[in-house]
Amino acid sequence: MEIIRSIEELERLHGPLFLAIGVFDGVHRGHQAVISTSASHARSSNGTPLVVTFDPHPVKVLRPNDAPHLLTATEHKIALIRDLGVDHLLVINFDKKFAATAPEKFVEQLVAHSKPLREICVGHEWSFGKDRRGNLDLLKELGAQFHFHVVGIPPVKVNGAVVSSTAIRQAVEKGDFATAAVMLGREYTILGTVKAGEKLGKKLGYPTANLSAHSEQFPPNGVYLAEAWIQGVLYHGVVNLGYRPTVSSGRSERVLEIYLLDFNREIYGENVEVRFVRYLRPERKFDSLEALVRQIEADVRQARDLCAP
């Protein structure tokens, strides 16, 4: 997949261009409908489909105190979009200067650098431009003016509920992975980069990989059986998510760490994608490190039993 970082680079792409535009946090079924519809229209017209998204999430810039926990930060989102078979992706840097762009000006820039622009496909409630003044109606007016089609994708529902990033966040926060998976069209995962920790796990005989999570929406604290993908290879492990009260009393930041079964190599700096398979127990404080180790041993035995064929 080719990733471009400026609207001007659209000129390099063979037209006509069909743009699927959105924030696409989570790349859920609704987002997939926007992207697949645009790609289908491009194929039927011998055009080039292009996904357009923004980094960081606009609310992170406009209202940082109200910004949602992301389902997929940009690196994870790019990987998921790539998995959909997308060939071209434009990632626009969203800063305060870009946020002040009038919606008409934004569309004019897309038109000016596309050779030509044939269609824009968005979700039915998408808003854009300064003060979020742009909407589907304005986009259709501009389409008529600049001679491109506009497609608004209606809400996607599963089991009678509208699919949305907000609904998925709420499901993950409650540990309802089944609902999240149905809305996402895949299992919910967290992508993180392994960082150096205190190496206490290694001293206790259970070395863990501490993950700096790119995604920000965590499920409830506790211990989980998990699957982990490292460089495309699947491993099983035990995840501890929480504040580690036995060894880090008073800690305010949640820690995501995983002990990988039958794994013995350094992976600092590597990305790990984690899926929470089964909740094993709540996080708790133990009276001693010895008691903690005994519980970890029990957690690992349970994980191995659950993984056994």
Annotated active-site residue 257? The verdict is yes
Residues 64-102, buried b or exposed e (16+ Cβ, 10 A)?
eeeeeebbbbbebbbbbbeeeebebbbbbebeeeebebe
Q: How does DSSP classify residue 261?
A: T
Catalytic hit among 8, 257, 270, 297: 257
Between CA 201 and CA 207 the distance in angstroms is 4
With tokens 């540990």, the residue in question is 175
Host H or E run for residue 21: strand 17-21
DSSP 175-233: T-HHHHHHHHTS--EEEEEEE----HHHHTT---EEEEESS-----SEEEEEEEEETTE
The residues that are catalytic are: 257
